Structure 1
């Protein structure tokens, strides 16, 4: 598993030709927040519901902000042990040899490595971390010699999980909650997201959002893929409600 930022083509939720990364208000805010966090070598938390675009915002902005810098990403899929967190850091930092057996030796090695040069660590799905593990991250960051910025990224529950740890939460430099696209944003950004929406009737875009996408960018990605398929199979050149209803049927939505 690579612990570097993924390549730009993987930013899209589904492989869809001509899909573009669009600049939302949340992405603009994330770009500014991440730049300020990195400059301060601080900790920040970017959180929100599933499919709202947290990970894409963070990875695309970091890729742009620090093209020549050392950024490592760790994604937690289940609740890890503290030993696992140490080992994930060891692997992400590409340290040679075998991980140390004893905690004190392990911590000394990690802190020395993180003091050697500026780093940015992205801890994705941070809601899986327990209090002890979050305290360990704070302990590493708090060392006066380490030179690391830490970006916590997480879904529902991440904000509450970090807030439960006073010593950590009091050190969070910036909190950013990413929410659904507003109806106004949908009309602004979906037109730019993919060419099939460029000449669509705005009322049909609103119809699609109300019945299937609900301001969720992951939903919009799936809907766009199915709508694109419907246009190709029917030979139609413009989105209409019949095409949309066929796409809704694949998403388990009705219109």
Structure 2
């Protein structure tokens, strides 16, 4: 596996939770692993599951890797916010695939339409927030993927409950090609990647970065994004140009 990351896009090209001008995607261990896993999953037209705690950068990493590995028109993204029925999955797929006309009323007709659409040319489905899937929805994805004529890969992405949710369905779990658990950044990773994440940290004292991680961010990328935004505000208010413990403590006070 190559350790060279893709050319890091700025924040405007990514899906970061907190909009940060000049923020960049950094080549964490999790991102490099995800790129290898997604590449192999796409090649096998298989299913993979990338899961972990809130704010560790799962969806951002997957989207960045898919943009590098697949043409955008071949990727379809679906996000669930509640436990969907098979009917809801059908309708989400109809919209995600951009199928014309009114969705069919009868399940068998709808299934035939989706199978035809997923057989026309290779695709990759990104199913985000997969911890919300119930058994019926999980089995429906398996039903479509098992169809001999369909030709698509699935990347399930979800929170800590995602692994348990998919494991509860043995028929699908046995077909998961790769499982990847994304964890928090280690202190060593923080020291290595945070200076590249945003210019604010490029000029910061490494001890101040370590101090921020110990007291506020704890290896969580979303927390780093929030801290970066508040620290930039602190510098603007005080007229200072570099990070120090005083500005960090002020930013900490906003993080609760």
Q: Distance in 2 between matches of 1:70 and 1:178?
A: 25
After TM superposition, give the deviation of residue 68 of structure 1 in Å. Answer: 5.5
Match of 1:227 among 217, 222, 231: 231
Q: Distance in 1 between matches of 2:192 and 2:86?
A: 44
**Corresponding residue of 1:111:** 115
Q: Distance in 2 between matches of 1:10 and 1:199?
A: 23
**Corresponding residue of 2:77:** 73
Q: Distance in 2 between matches of 1:12 and 1:105?
A: 39
**Corresponding residue of 2:57:** 53
After TM superposition, give the deviation of residue 196 of structure 1 in Å. Answer: 1.2
After TM superposition, give the deviation of residue 67 of structure 1 in Å. Answer: 2.7
Kindly indicate whether the alpha-carbon contact (under 8 Å) linking 2:51 and 2:162 is maintained by their aligned counterparts in 1. yes
Kindly indicate whether the alpha-carbon contact (under 8 Å) linking 2:184 and 2:218 is maintained by their aligned counterparts in 1. yes
**Corresponding residue of 2:143:** 139
Change (3 A) 1:66 1:99: same
After TM superposition, give the deviation of residue 14 of structure 1 in Å. Answer: 1.5
Q: Distance in 2 between matches of 1:16 and 1:126?
A: 27
**Corresponding residue of 1:245:** 249
Match of 1:37 among 37, 41, 52: 41
Change (3 A) 1:166 1:8: farther
Q: Which secondary structure does the structure 1 equivalent of 2:153 belong to?
A: strand
**Corresponding residue of 1:157:** 161
Q: Which secondary structure does the structure 2 equivalent of 1:113 belong to?
A: helix
Structure 1 stretches of 4+ moved >6 Å: none
Q: Distance in 1 between matches of 2:170 and 2:55?
A: 28
Q: 1:11-70, CA deviations, whole angstroms, 9 ceiling, x for partnerless residues?
A: 222222211111100000001111110011000000000000000000010001113551
Q: Which secondary structure does the structure 1 equivalent of 2:160 belong to?
A: coil
Q: Distance in 2 between matches of 1:187 and 1:150?
A: 34
Kindly indicate whether the alpha-carbon contact (under 8 Å) linking 2:14 and 2:64 is maintained by their aligned counterparts in 1. no
TM-score between the two structures when normalised by the length of structure 2: 0.94
Match of 2:240 among 199, 211, 236: 236
Q: Which secondary structure does the structure 1 equivalent of 2:208 belong to?
A: helix
Kindly indicate whether the alpha-carbon contact (under 8 Å) linking 2:48 and 2:179 is maintained by their aligned counterparts in 1. yes
Change (3 A) 1:8 1:147: farther
**Corresponding residue of 2:8:** none
After TM superposition, give the deviation of residue 199 of structure 1 in Å. Answer: 2.0
After TM superposition, give the deviation of residue 222 of structure 1 in Å. Answer: 0.3
Q: Which secondary structure does the structure 2 equivalent of 1:73 belong to?
A: strand
Matched residue pairs, number? 246
Q: 1:169-228, CA deviations, whole angstroms, 9 ceiling, x for partnerless residues?
A: 000001011000000000001111111111211111111011110100000000001001
Match of 1:17 among 11, 16, 21: 21
Q: Distance in 2 between matches of 1:90 and 1:134?
A: 17
Kindly indicate whether the alpha-carbon contact (under 8 Å) linking 1:73 and 1:124 is maintained by their aligned counterparts in 2. yes
Stretches of structure 1 that go unaligned for 5 or more consecutive residues are 1-6
Q: 1:82-135, CA deviations, whole angstroms, 9 ceiling, x for partnerless residues?
A: 211110011111111111111111111100110111011011001111111101
